[in-house]
Amino acid sequence: MNTIIYTIIVAAIIAILLGILLGLFKKIFHVDTDPKVQLVRDALSGANCGGCGLAGCDAFAAAVVKGDAPTNGCVAGGSDCAKKVAEILGQAGVEVKPKVAFLACAGTKECAQDKAEYIGMKTCKAAQLTMSGTKKCAFGCIGFGDCVAVCPFGALSMGDDGLPKVNKSKCLACGKCAAACPKHLFKFIDADTKGAIALCSNKSDNKPQIRKDCSKGCFKCGMCARKCPEQAIDVSSGLPVIDYTKCTSCGTCVSACVDKVLVIL
Amino acid sequence: METIKLFIKSALIDNVVFIQYLAICPFIGMTNDTEKATGMGLATTFVIMLATAVTWPLYKLVMVPLGLEFLQTLFFILVIASLVQLVEFFLKKMSPGLYNAMGVYLALITTNCAVLGITINCISKNYNYVQSLVYAFGSAMGFLISMVIMSGVRSRVKTANVPKAFAGTPILYICASLLSLAFLGFKGLIK
């Protein structure tokens, strides 16, 4: 009989003690959380894509409320989301220009040659680690689709030519593919960009080698810049960089390009 | 000397994960990358030490005199779960950085069988207070070691060509069993 009474008393004392302690700790160490954070968090897309450059939607919401991140920082949410976030914070909304990813490489299976037969793990990362890519061109797309696997929105698919294809209507430019690509081939442009663009990332100056490696490699001749009537192309870094405020999509550079590196979007 | 022996024995010879098969859930679940595994290991170390420091006196000074030894499991769980909560509140306020690094794991540790296992072991092996704390620290270090080793193994498994039938969790159990065999080699370390 004593045991039962002791059990009840001891259990009750321990439970009450711990209960009081917990209550006290909660009071003493209470942390005020801003209710705005939760509101902002709910307005976001919730994909946790990391396109804002922060750890995820929760981190972004906290940063926005603190003022460390811009209200239009959520790329996946787009304009609607930016508007909602700005409303919550009582700021004037800033328009978000939707961006899309594009692959700066045209080295399909036919154009770019393989160095050797690769029979290892079928991921770009592994191929990059073991033999710095499967293709002769050290800058070219490896084509095992690490980007396709990592895309949270299903915007990428592997084409028959061995290069990933971007579905512009699905792409939200979160940047996961760019981070996954060991060759850093993904660039981001405004979705409504009109003009010429260079589909090559070969930064090498060894011109004969470029030709040998890939029939679509930029030869660094600079013809596009010289022929452009608007002087919209800058080749000082080697590869052509197009200034879209000047480009009129006339197509002169595309026809001037010997290697057909440039295309009109 | 005895203290050092006890530490080595608890950390390596009687490793919590590899020899006693406790705390397999965080061992498999949290070893995705070394940083997380270390965080979990350190957080668990902290909780194990705290739990042992509180449960030993509770048992010896309250439960034994009153003849309530049979309620060991129940009381220990009650105390451990509350302790973890208290620590969580404390960390949230005093060190948000540490809380963010450890916060997710803290709640998981409440249900970590290593914590309960070690506190009960201290009692059943009849250790005194100092021995209990040394034993708890040694075991916790053993857990930390096993977490870090496993996270290293996993980073290699990730890029290995695993047969389809073994891909995912099965290969991890195979790795764990091989590691366990390796740890059996420590058996003769202390006479």
Average confidence (pLDDT) per 10 residues, chain A, 265 residues? 86 91 85 76 75 75 80 76 79 68 84 82 86 84 87 85 86 82 86 81 81 82 84 83 84 82 81
Predicted local distance difference test score (pLDDT) of residue A93: 58
pLDDT of residue B101: 66
Asked if residue B169 has pLDDT above 90, the reply is no
Helices H / strands E in chain A, number of each: 10, 8
Domain containing residue B7? 2-189
Q: In this predicted model, what pLDDT tens digit does every residue of B151-167 receive, in sequence order?
A: 999 988 887 888 889 88
Closest chain B residue to A4, measured at CA: B68
pLDDT (0 to 100) of residue B53: 93
Degrees to nearest 5, angle at CA B58 with B57 and B59: 90
Tell me the DSSP string of A132-151: S-SBSSTTS---S-HHHHH-
Q: Say whether pLDDT at B110 is over 80.
A: no
Residues 6+ apart with CB under 8 A from A112: A135, A136, A137, A140, A213, A214, A215, A216, A217
| pLDDT given at position B42 | 85
Q: Which of B62, B86, B159 sits opposite A22 (nearest CB)?
A: B86
Determine the topology of domain A35-89 in CATH: 3-methyladenine DNA Glycosylase II; Chain A, domain 3 (1.10.15)
How high is the pLDDT of residue A20? 92
Question: At B153, which amino acid appears?
Answer: V
Residue from B117, B119, B127 nearest B3 by CA: B127
CA A173 → CA A74, A105, A127, B158, distances in Å? Answer: 10, 18, 25, 27
Q: What is the pTM of this model?
A: 0.61
Q: Is-contact A141 A164, C-beta < 8 A?
A: yes
Query: How many of the other CB atoms lie within 10 Å of CB of A2?
Result: 8
Q: Which residues 67-126 on chain A approach chain B with CB closer than 8 angstroms? A: 120-121, 125-126
What pLDDT digit, counting tens, does each position of B34-69 carry? 887 888 888 888 889 989 999 999 999 988 888 888
Fold of A98-191: Alpha-Beta Plaits (3.30.70)
Q: How confident is the model at residue B104 (pLDDT cuts 50, 70, 90)?
A: low
Query: Is 80 exceeded by the pLDDT of residue B144?
Result: yes
Q: Is A30 helix (H, G, I), strand (E, B) or coil?
A: coil
Closest CB to A31: pick one of B85, B92, B161: B92
Helix (H) or strand (E) holding B148: helix B129-158
- Are residues A21 and B86, on separate chains, in Cβ contact within 8 Å? yes
Q: How confident is the model at residue B122 (pLDDT cuts 50, 70, 90)?
A: very high
Give pLDDT, residue A240. Answer: 85
pLDDT of residue B8 exceeding 70: yes
Predicted local distance difference test score (pLDDT) of residue A224: 85
Instruction: Tell me the residues of chain A between 18 and 47 that have a Cβ less than 8 Å away from chain B.
Output: 18, 21-22, 25-26, 28-31
**B 71-90 residues inside an 8 A Cβ radius of A:** 71, 74-75, 78-79, 82, 85-86, 89-90
Q: Do B93 and A31 touch (CB under 8 A)?
A: yes
B163 in contact with A, Cβ within 8 Å: no
Count of domains observed in chain B: 1
d(CA A69, CA B173): 43
Query: A53 forms bridges with which residues in the sheet?
Result: none
Question: Which class does domain A193-265 fall in?
Answer: alpha beta
Kindly state whether B100 is in contact with chain A, defined as any CB-CB distance less than 8 angstroms. Answer: no
**Inter-chain CB proximity B66 and A6 less than 8 Å:** yes
Enumerate the CATH 1.10.15 domain ranges in chain A, comma separated: 35-89
- Find the length of chain B: 191
**CA–CA distance, B87 with B128 (Å, rounded to integer):** 25
Chain B interface, best mutation among A10, A27, A124, A128, by max B CB count within 10 A: A10
| Residue spans in chain A of domains classed CATH 3.30.70.20 | 98-191, 193-265
Q: How far is Cα A118 from Cα A147, in angstroms, rounded to an integer? A: 19
Chain B residues closer than 8 Å to A121 by CB = 159-161
Residue B129 · residue B8 · CB < 8 Å: no
User: Higher-confidence residue: B136 or A114?
Assistant: B136
Q: Is the pLDDT of residue B145 over 90?
A: yes
Residue type at A91 in one-letter notation: Q
